[in-house]
Amino acid sequence: MIRTGLLVVGGGPVGLSAALLAHRFGLSCVLVERRPEVAPHPKARGVRNRAMELFRLWGVEERLLAGAPHRPHNGFVYCESLSGQEYGRSPAPPESSEHSPTGDSRVPQDHLEGVLRAELAGLRGVEARFGVELRSFAQDATGVTADLHDPASGEDTRIRADFMIAADGVASGVRGRLGVAMAGDQLGYWQSVFWNGDISRLTEHRTAIQYLTAPAAGGSAQGFVTVAPVDGKERWITFRMLPEGTARPGALTDEAARELVTTAVGAPAQEIEIVGTATYLVAAQVAERYRDGRVFLAGDAAHAFPPTGGFGLNTGVQDVHNLVWKLALVLQGAAPPALLDTYEEERRPIAASNARWSTANADRFASVWQRIRAGEALDDVLAGQRAHVGSLGRDLGFRYLSGALIPDGGQGEAIPASYAPSSTPGVRAPHVWITSEGRRCSTLDLFDTAFTLISRSRDWCADATAAATACGVPLRTCLAGTDGFAVAEDTFEAAYGLGGDGAVLVRPDGHVAWRTRRPPAQAEPGLREVFQRVLGVPG
């Protein structure tokens, strides 16, 4: 029997991220994925700003960007076909923000998975088993026992893990065996075609996230058929939404797939190569619970969003970023098991909001289609799609209202309409450029595998070190205004608002746990109590 700290089921972007995080936090980990190779059909086609910040921190950003198309000129282009009449264009995605050291990018999922697989290879303490299936599992008070099967070799393996993360997708077998229901709506079936072909003459002057095609009058009831760039050159996805109430259809034949693509392109396409097709159920649903004993749901196993907004993959990566540091502290004995309950408490409301928002984006597409069919002006509905592509408040500004933090009554919503830097407990700590020992970096580079205390007060740094040592918690202290943390004072104060004597405590996942503007002698609670309350230590 193999023993490990963490068993991850599912080797998509979320499961791979969980395994990378396990390594960073010093946890032994086994990852199992039934697909031997990366799926050739790219599903998601974008990494949002916050997820890219994490990939930057983990050292894979440059490799991801090498496989991404250039930033498009437009958000969406609406047309009869790519070679036919154009109805209108929606605004382009915003440029990189001053609020982040990086930006979002149209990284296709197959490329992302390939990079993360390569990063995992050879990491000590992490064993990735691709082409291996989870046959069964059972849990008890001290761990999870799982039986694995390798169809290629016929080998069976038993694993004993302290905890298990199920990142095995929207049809999660683990979730089904746990009997966890999904709450929300099923929205119908979509079919997609992944294909290769050079249609640059039709797109190079108006690059976009998606091209949505349909006849202006007499079109099909399902609305648009899309053409979406994967690499911006020769790799494309075309998909259509089937009318509501349609039973699950059979797989698209090559002939039907080619007809769908050539109709959307609107010109002879002898060079088109059909690579693959997929049929899937689109839903806006969230699991009724994220935890069952020592098993946790993450990514699409925990929530399903319509692919109108690009938050499925990104929400999932942040799920495991929230969870793994908590698992590490519990396994190291620095936190009680109750800390793990804050995973669902913090992440489930974010997923529920993202599900509603993604559904609203689908409704925006429907509004444009209705205007086109009616021959009405599109200016206002196209402008309204800024909220679809420019969602920085949702991406960087989301806030945990309770959980592993100490609220202080600061202003803010769980999901703000726009982003403003803040050190309110529960938010992602703001990005500010700093100079640390002669090197320019972001404050976000500090928030990795330990708690971080930032202050201008040496007394706060000394108190934090003593409190962390007493609680057995890893801590990094940063004395602002020194060679180790040189800042532009106005910028730093505007973002963090600590005054001369305050302090902010940031969790390993980069979210603010606690803050104060008072010096240590006047602050309540003291830092030892802060750690205990954040970690859920009884009493």
**Quick one: pLDDT at residue 410?**
66
**Quick one: pLDDT at residue 221?**
44
Spatial CB neighbours of 128, under 8 Å, sequence gap ≥ 6 = 11, 19, 30, 31, 33, 117, 120, 121
CB atoms within 10 A of CB 339: 20
Query: Quick check: 341 pLDDT over 50?
Result: yes
Query: Quick check: 418 pLDDT over 90?
Result: no
Spatial CB neighbours of 47, under 8 Å, sequence gap ≥ 6 = 55, 64, 104, 105, 107, 112, 313, 314
Average pLDDT on 76-88 reads 93
Please, which pLDDT band fits residue 268 given cuts at 50, 70 and 90?
low
% the chain with pLDDT above 70: 97
Listed range (191-205, 230-244, 306-320, 408-422) with the worst mean pLDDT: 408-422
β-bridge pairing 2-9 and 29-33: parallel
* C-alpha–C-alpha distance, residues 444 and 192, integer Å: 38
Q: Which residue has the higher pLDDT, 188 or 60?
A: 60
Closest CA to 167 of 138, 128, 194, 140: 128
Residue with tokens 């700290």: 5
pLDDT digits (tens, 9 = 90+) for 140-168: 999 999 999 999 999 999 999 999 999 99
If you write DSSP's letter for every residue of 238-254 in order, what string do you get? EEEEPPTTPPPPPPPPH
CA 401 to chain centre: 19
- Cross-strand partners of 187: none
Please, which pLDDT band fits residue 218 given cuts at 50, 70 and 90?
low
Q: Which residue has the higher pLDDT, 358 or 383?
A: 358
pLDDT digits (tens, 9 = 90+) for 97-129: 789 999 989 899 999 999 999 999 989 999 999
Query: Of 15-19, 219-223, 252-256, where does the model show the most confidence?
Result: 15-19
Burial of 490 (0-12, 13-18, 19+ CB in 10 A): exposed
CB atoms within 10 A of CB 539: 3
* C-alpha–C-alpha distance, residues 105 and 61, integer Å: 10
**Quick one: pLDDT at residue 412?**
66
Please, which pLDDT band fits residue 385 given cuts at 50, 70 and 90?
confident
Fold of 2-67+106-181+286-370: FAD/NAD(P)-binding domain (3.50.50)
pLDDT digits (tens, 9 = 90+) for 301-328: 999 998 887 899 999 999 999 999 999 9
CA 12 to chain centre: 12
Query: Quick check: 290 pLDDT over 90?
Result: yes
Spatial CB neighbours of 439, under 8 Å, sequence gap ≥ 6 = none
Please, which pLDDT band fits residue 391 given cuts at 50, 70 and 90?
confident
Sequence ranges of the domains in the chain: 2-67+106-181+286-370, 399-535
| Mean pLDDT score across all residues of the chain | 91
Task: Supply the angle between the helices 312-331 and 49-57 in degrees, to the nearest 10.
Answer: 40
Q: Are 418 and 393 in contact (CB under 8 A)?
A: yes
pLDDT digits (tens, 9 = 90+) for 444-489: 999 999 999 999 999 999 999 999 999 999 999 999 887 678 777 7
pTM score of the predicted model: 0.94
Burial of 124 (0-12, 13-18, 19+ CB in 10 A): exposed
Closest CA to 58 of 321, 312, 395: 321
Query: Quick check: 86 pLDDT over 60?
Result: yes
* C-alpha–C-alpha distance, residues 305 and 187, integer Å: 10
**Quick one: pLDDT at residue 222?**
53
* C-alpha–C-alpha distance, residues 100 and 444, integer Å: 9
Average pLDDT on 512-539 reads 90
Query: Quick check: 96 pLDDT over 80?
Result: no
Q: Which helix (H) or strand (E) holds 221?
A: none
Q: Supply φ then ψ for residue 76, to 5 degrees.
A: -135, 140
Q: Which helix (H) or strand (E) holds 222?
A: none
**Fold match between domain 2-67+106-181+286-370 and domain 399-535:** no
- Kindly provide the residue ranges of all beta strands, DSSP E only, lying in 335-492, ordered along the sequence: 433-436, 439-442, 451-455, 475-479, 486-487
Burial of 217 (0-12, 13-18, 19+ CB in 10 A): exposed
CB atoms within 10 A of CB 97: 17
DSSP 3-state of 55:
helix
The CATH code of domain 399-535 reads 3.40.30.120
pLDDT digits (tens, 9 = 90+) for 121-138: 989 999 999 999 999 999
Burial of 444 (0-12, 13-18, 19+ CB in 10 A): buried
* C-alpha–C-alpha distance, residues 508 and 446, integer Å: 9
- Cross-strand partners of 145: 138, 160
**Quick one: pLDDT at residue 171?**
92
CB atoms within 10 A of CB 118: 11
DSSP state of 91: P
Q: Are 195 and 272 in contact (CB under 8 A)?
A: yes
Query: Quick check: 411 pLDDT over 80?
Result: no
